Chains A and B, each alone.
Chain A
Amino acid sequence: MSVQNGITQRPKNFFRNILIFLSVAGPGIITANVDNDAGGITTYSVAGAHFGYATLWIFIPMVVALTVIQEMCSRMGVVTGKGLADLFRERFGVKVTFYAMIVLVLSNLGNTMAEFSGVAASGEIFGIPRVVSVPLAAIFVWWLVVKGTYQSVEKVFLGACLFYVSYIISGFMVRPPWGEIASSVIVPRFELGSSYLFMLIGVIGTTIAPWMQFYQQSAVVEKGISVRDYRYARLDVIIGSIVVHVVAFFIVVVCAVTLFKNGVRIETAKDAALALKPLAGNYCAYLFAFGLLNASLFAASILPLATAYSVCEGLGWETGVDKRLKDAPQFYFLYTALIVLGAGVVMIPHVNLVFVMLVSQFANGVLLPFVLVFMLILINDKNLMGEHRNSLFFNSVSWITVIAVSAFTVLLVFFYCIR
């Protein structure tokens, strides 16, 4: 090849690579971002308000852990062309799959309720009563998936990811002391006391949840990404887990700079937004509330979708956003039922979601170690993955991650129970 040829080809390949990346991107970025849902924002707000910058250092190891786990799902989806629930069923039989799916439904139902209460809370900040905001949100997310195709749904979801910028903007609005923050990110800092430990575990527990593995793998399969384009899908995962933690970082920073400095105690994300008004100004508070609304809506759509995907895959029913109602009745039934139940319970006046959240957290904590260990068994299966199975190095990294994440999740459940 001549030199001239080499020069002219570089930019062409560069644009081609970007084009391929854009066509492959989606599942990783979307899955990671849904992580900053109503529950996540609450956890991060409380972490910032009560402990200042003391939890910031956890985000760097979290990026690694999330990437390692989600990358394996993405790889399995690309190589096998099957969802995680499919693989569970084929490898571990119907019993394991069925009970795993029941636990998944329980955990996601609880989470869906939390998302709709997030919608209600953020609506109330803007003066919209929940009897209006919740049904509207439910109808919107239902309509989006039932009437849409995979491409259109994914575009809306990617659009929703962009709105997380509102947290970054509000982060800059409060003028944080960057030097102090930078040192807190790099230098791990432990504080004694069970409440700090509980907070730390809470942050880890909300970041890695079982539905994410199921959803991401199904989305990769439905998107039909080929092995050749796999490196782009990996980039998608990495970008996703970095972005989600950048947003989380800014949420902690906003609350640390304003609420922590002034000693304001909060319980929910709504408290945080309201408390921001006098301290950081109306705009900052509204941006914060808008972020919460967007996140809740986004997750309220994805969680039921992920559940419906996994259950139908595992039990051998037709799945897919691209299928029509008639072709995949169980899929749409489950999706609808989760939304109706999730939104319905939030509509009950003076409802207390603590018990539901407890069950949901518990289900999460029980399921996650199993899912992760099964994933590691699957990804090391020579017949299934061929040359794409884990290398020795990657295996040790992922086993450490899996054991650590599982231990923290079990600890979280334990803490929840003794509280």
Chain B
Amino acid sequence: MFVNFSRVLSYGIFDREGRFVGGLWDVSVKFKEILPQADELIVSRGFLHREFAGIPWEQIERVDDNIYLKIDKGALSFAREPKVYEFLLRRDILDQQVVDTYNNKVIRVNDIHLLKVNQDIMVAHVDIGLRGLFRRLGWERFIDLVVRLFAPRARYLKREDLISWKYIQPVSINPVSKTLKVNLPQKQFSHIPPADLSEILLDLDVNQRIAFFKTLDVRTKADIFENLDFEHQKTLLKELDKKEAAQILSEMSPDEATDLLENLSTSAAQNLLALMESTMARKLSTLLGYSSDSAGGIMTTDFVSLSEKTTVEEAIEFIKTRTADLDYVYYIYIVDEKNRLKGITTIRRLLLANNPKEEIITTAYPRPVYVYLHDSTKQIAYLFDKYKFSALPVVDENKVIHGVITIDDVLSRVILLAWRKRPKK
């Protein structure tokens, strides 16, 4: 049977002899099963000098329209402050903000939908609807009546805006440790696209934002960072310790990381670079050297380049086993021993090759298209349009390959030029 928490809060508490003990103040829950289960209730008495006492669930006889205890009123010890609880329904859920991982947004809880099995109470759903709001205000019946009078088939009467608890992540913060009070398994967030996750993050208040962010793994943190604009990146960076910031930066794709570093002050950027592993740091400081409007400035240094001697078979094996951490592997750049660009091939061309033993250069496009380090964004955009590639290699005067520009990097620059506005992330 389902019952609303707002209703339960109005229950009186009576002892073994049927004497009134007090009102229900709050309910503590434990997170053992899938649904959190009520394990202690807090009874309060008095108004100006309010006193509290905790009652473990084992001492409860039954819960119907009131709560009846197995014990005697005298056995309870009341105190001015309730004892410290990990997680309370009223304090931490009711009227608070939570993350709805099903619809990927931050919501405010109007009521809690509880499941009552025998005498046990479990949290089943949270109510975020208008009707839940009116119920809390004590207007539910009146509004129902009015709506029924004017529009008997209104959606309002049928719809219950309930969200299953399994999609709910509370964001209340432990005031001491500044961490989230309940950390549900990380799996919950793994299915949410980073772009949505970063929007959720922005909907939280500053403290929750930081606490929530800290629960995520480094990979997800980096993904979120790539989706935030600079102002928000900067505020988050301030809150993270330097080592963690450097870690996140290393996980980000080099072009996004460079964008971030470029916007920081020189000393801050140098500090971060010093903490990063040396290969990544070297990559980034090279990228930082280029003007942000040139090919060098927007390129990424993550790409697949293979020696011209590689066979098709080896190339496919290489892609399968060695490129897991690269975003973009469709194009394979063929280079000589001095890293000079010799040709461009694609996974598709490799797969369609007649003879897996032949060298990959035989599958390459007849003439490689490339841009120079100092070509401007505009020139590059024209090339993309002309040749219909989705990525172009970037070379220096000796045709040594330095990086790759993907079409999305150019697109965000072109949008910026065309509408004088950063795309809303």
Contacts and interface: CB of A to CB of B under 8 A. Distances in A.
Interface of A: 80-82, 86, 89-90, 93-95, 98, 221, 224, 226, 228, 315-316, 382-383, 386
Interface stretch (B43-51, B144-152, B201-209, B396-404): B201-209
30 contacts: A80-B205, A80-B206, A81-B204, A81-B205, A81-B207, A81-B209, A82-B205, A86-B205, A89-B95, A90-B95, A90-B96, A93-B95, A94-B95, A94-B110, A94-B136, A94-B137, A95-B137, A95-B138, A221-B205, A224-B206, A224-B235, A226-B206, A226-B235, A226-B238, A228-B238, A316-B97, A316-B110, A316-B133, A383-B175, A386-B175
Nearest to B208: A81
Nearest to B209: A81
Interface string B88-121: 0000000111000000000111100000000000
Nearest to A93: B95
Given A81-B207, A316-B109, 6 more contacts: A81-B206, A94-B136, A95-B137, A221-B205, A224-B232, A316-B97
Contacts of A382: 175
Contacts of A81: 204-209
Contacts of A224: 206, 231-232, 235
Contacts of A93: 95
A228 B237 CA distance: 13
Contacts of A315: 108, 133
Nearest to B6: A94
A297 to B, nearest CB: 27
Contact of B108 (A89, A221, A228, A386): A89
Contact of B207 (A80, A89, A94): A80
Contacts, number: 47
A221 B202 CA distance: 11
- For the complex of A and B, list the 6 residue pairs with the smallest distance between their C-beta atoms, beginning with the closest: A316-B108, A81-B205, A81-B206, A383-B175, A94-B136, A82-B205
Nearest to B232: A224
Nearest to A92: B95
A64 B205 CA distance: 30
A98 B95 CA distance: 12
Contacts of B109: 316
Contacts of B207: 80-81
Interface in B48-104: 95-97
A316 B128 contact: yes
Interface in B195-214: 204-209
Interface residues of B, number: 23
B410 to A, nearest CB: 25
A46 B75 CA distance: 68
A221 B96 CA distance: 17
B259 to A, nearest CB: 20
Which one of A90, A94, A95, A224 has the highest number of Cβ atoms from chain B below 10 Å of its Cβ?
A: A94
A316 B203 CA distance: 12
A90 B107 CA distance: 13
A386 to B, nearest CB: 8
B133 A94 contact: yes
A98 B235 contact: no
A333 B204 CA distance: 23
Which one of B137, B138, B206 has the highest number of Cβ atoms from chain A below 10 Å of its Cβ?
A: B206
Which one of B205, B208, B231 has the highest number of Cβ atoms from chain A below 10 Å of its Cβ?
A: B205
B107 A316 contact: yes
Contacts of B209: 81
A93 B235 CA distance: 31
A66 to B, nearest CB: 26
Interface string B207-239: 111000000000000000000000110010010
Contacts of B232: 224
Contacts of A90: 95-96
A383 B172 CA distance: 11
Nearest to B135: A94
A80 B137 CA distance: 26
Interface in B111-167: 128, 133, 136-138
A26 B96 CA distance: 29
Contacts of B97: 316
Contacts of B108: 89, 315-316
A94 B231 CA distance: 33
Nearest to B130: A315
A81 B97 CA distance: 13
B213 to A, nearest CB: 13
Contacts of B95: 89-90, 93-94
Which one of A228, A316, A386 has the highest number of Cβ atoms from chain B below 10 Å of its Cβ?
A: A316
A217 B204 CA distance: 16
Nearest to B91: A90
Contacts of A94: 95, 110, 133, 136-137
A228 B110 CA distance: 34
Contacts of B206: 80-81, 224, 226
A226 B231 CA distance: 11
A382 B81 CA distance: 14
Nearest to B173: A383
A383 B95 CA distance: 17
B143 to A, nearest CB: 13
